[in-house]
Amino acid sequence: MTTDAPPSYRYLDNAASAPLDPRALAAMLPWLATAQTAAHGFANPASLHGPGQGARTAVQNALAQIAHCLGARPDEITLTSGATEANNWAIRGLAETLSASGRPRHLVTTAIEHPSVREPVRWLERAGWRVTYAPVDREGFVHPDLLAQAMGDDTALVSIIHGHNEIGTVQPLDELIEVAHRHGALFHADAAQTVGKLPLNVARLPVDYLTFSAHKCYGPKGVGGLFARHDAPAPAPLLLGGGQQQGRRSGVENPALAVGFATALHYACEEAPAESRRLRTLGRRLLERLRIELQESRFRLILNGPEDFHRRLPGNAHFSLLCEGHAPLEGEALALQLDLRGIGVSSGSACHSGSLTPSASVLALGKTQAEATATLRVSLGRENDDSDVEALIAALPAVLRRVVPAGRL
Ligand code: PMP
């Protein structure tokens, strides 16, 4: 990929990371202050002096604001370095807590989890836990009745991704949580892609643990968190040390990141109803335009994830491009060609890109190797509009000619 994006670059990869909201940046700046400024915003929130207490208040206010956006209590929110840490903590920390309390060791998840859930689950398996992977249908949905079949009397924890970072499927969380609770199990959801984008209120949704990340909703990178319901077992800390955040996660809190996250989330939640409608319309239009553009060509477009855009992440379009009589196209090559023409998309998830192995999540939908290799993900965000969709459509013929030199549109 090119390193210096030209000024007219069209960034359509918001699921990988969304641009920082300028309002969040403005709120962060005082907390990045240097020794020369009067505010002493750099101080340690654990220090007892005035600047330290100022920093502490900023972190507490940020926690209260984040909690308010989610319908949680401030003491149910712990800040982490992002969703990766929150997922690791939820899975490994809970495993430790539940094992210590003598709970049986069975976990139910899916084959389409983000690597930051998938890998800790594998770690649990190596540590002797039994893991069942509930099946997903061709659009990536987990069906409550099939989840029920995966449950056992000994199931301690269910972990299911809310909005899928690649294929965009948004799970019916309320129905899945109901199944888990009926079987006496706790429920963790990785909501890194949905918090700040879809209505999510833990006062109404009885989820036990919820992972979120700031940079997916226009906040800074390097901060996210875990909601853990006050009456659910507390995950044992991963990070031991000075006992910050009520002993749940040691390490000096970063007021700038906390304030930036809280501000970005506040605006994202406020704007989500209108913005999600706009992005769904834009995503649907992109797909329609792609289908029209390719209908008379040798290329076949297969949408991955739900056909119903109301059941997808707003702005997500994930598809496979197949070419008759040609070896499978590589999503990476398509994304690279688009990048060279000033359009940033990805072949799958950013965590996955760089490797040419097909996405495990796409394969889990029952797709072929060719379909799972020739994938492109477009994730539209706040800064995108119709002109970006048109630019992508306009660039496509040249991109396809380049990737399949003998191909005619
Ligand atoms: N879960 C999901 C669903 C994600 O999309 C991501 C980011 N790709 C993560 C977890 C990890 O988030 P973070 O970058 O905050 O560690």
Each residue's pLDDT tens digit, 124-147: 999 999 999 999 999 999 999 999
Residue 351 falls in the annotated catalytic set: yes
List 217, 269, 323, 351, catalytic entry: 351
pLDDT at 175 over 60: yes
Task: Please give the pLDDT value at position 217.
Answer: 98
Nearest CA to ligand 1 atom 5: 165
Nearest-angstrom CA–CA distance, 406 and 409? 10
Q: Tell how far the Cα of 84 is from the centroid of ligand 1, in angstroms.
A: 6
**Percentage above 70 pLDDT, the chain:** 94
CA atoms within 13 A on the CB side of 240: 2
Question: Sorting pLDDT into bands at 50, 70 and 90, what band is 174?
Answer: very high
**Which tens digits make up the pLDDT trace of 319-376?**
999 998 888 889 999 999 999 999 999 997 554 545 567 889 999 999 999 999 999 9
* CA distances to 147, 223, 312 from 81, in Å: 31, 4, 27
The mean pLDDT of the chain is 93
Q: Tell how far the Cα of 157 is from the centroid of ligand 1, in angstroms.
A: 20
Report yes or no: 317 and 287 within 8 Å, Cβ to Cβ: yes
Question: In this structure, how many other beta carbons lie within 10 angstroms of the beta carbon of residue 268?
Answer: 23
| Pocket perturbation via mutation, ligand 1, pick of 167, 213, 221, 361 by most ligand atoms within 8 A of CB | 213
Nearest-angstrom CA–CA distance, 160 and 141? 11
Task: Please give the pLDDT value at position 36.
Answer: 65
**Which tens digits make up the pLDDT trace of 71-125?**
999 999 999 999 999 999 999 999 999 998 887 699 999 999 999 999 999 999 9
Q: Tell how far the Cα of 20 is from the centroid of ligand 1, in angstroms.
A: 16
Could you identify the atom of ligand 1 that is nearest to the CA of residue 213?
15
Residues with CB under 6 A from ligand 1: 82-84, 87, 114, 116, 161, 165, 190, 192-193, 213, 224, 349, 351
Average pLDDT over residues 265-276: 98
Nearest CA to ligand 1 atom 9: 83
Could you identify the atom of ligand 1 that is nearest to the CA of residue 350?
8
**Which tens digits make up the pLDDT trace of 189-231?**
999 999 999 999 999 999 999 999 999 999 999 999 999 999 9
For 156-189, b/e burial (b = at least 16 CB within 10 A) is bbbbbbbbbbbbbbbbebeebbbbbeebebbbbb
Report yes or no: 42 and 32 within 8 Å, Cβ to Cβ: yes
Report yes or no: 167 and 362 within 8 Å, Cβ to Cβ: yes
| Pocket perturbation via mutation, ligand 1, pick of 91, 110, 116 by most ligand atoms within 8 A of CB | 116
Could you identify the atom of ligand 1 that is nearest to the CA of residue 214?
15
Q: Tell how far the Cα of 39 is from the centroid of ligand 1, in angstroms.
A: 33
Task: Please give the pLDDT value at position 3.
Answer: 59
* CA distances to 54, 193, 243, 246, 247 from 239, in Å: 25, 25, 9, 12, 9
Task: Please give the pLDDT value at position 4.
Answer: 63
pLDDT at 15 over 80: yes
Q: Tell how far the Cα of 128 is from the centroid of ligand 1, in angstroms.
A: 26
| Residue 60 one-letter amino acid | Q
Report yes or no: 289 and 393 within 8 Å, Cβ to Cβ: yes
Is beta strand 155-161 parallel, antiparallel or unpaired with respect to 186-190? Answer: parallel
Average pLDDT over residues 153-158: 95
Q: Tell how far the Cα of 79 is from the centroid of ligand 1, in angstroms.
A: 14
Question: In this structure, how many other beta carbons lie within 10 angstroms of the beta carbon of residue 102?
Answer: 6
pLDDT at 178 over 90: yes
pLDDT at 309 over 90: yes
Task: Please give the pLDDT value at position 332.
Answer: 93
**Percentage above 90 pLDDT, the chain:** 86
pLDDT at 407 over 50: no
Could you identify the atom of ligand 1 that is nearest to the CA of residue 15?
5
Q: What own/partner pairs with CB < 8 Å and gap ≥ 24 does 57-63 have?
A: 58/31, 58/255, 58/258, 58/259, 59/253, 59/255, 59/258, 59/259, 61/259, 61/262, 62/255, 62/258, 62/259, 62/261, 62/262, 63/258, 63/262
Question: In this structure, how many other beta carbons lie within 10 angstroms of the beta carbon of residue 237?
Answer: 18
Could you identify the atom of ligand 1 that is nearest to the CA of residue 86?
16
| Pocket perturbation via mutation, ligand 1, pick of 85, 113, 160, 165 by most ligand atoms within 8 A of CB | 165
Task: Please give the pLDDT value at position 33.
Answer: 79
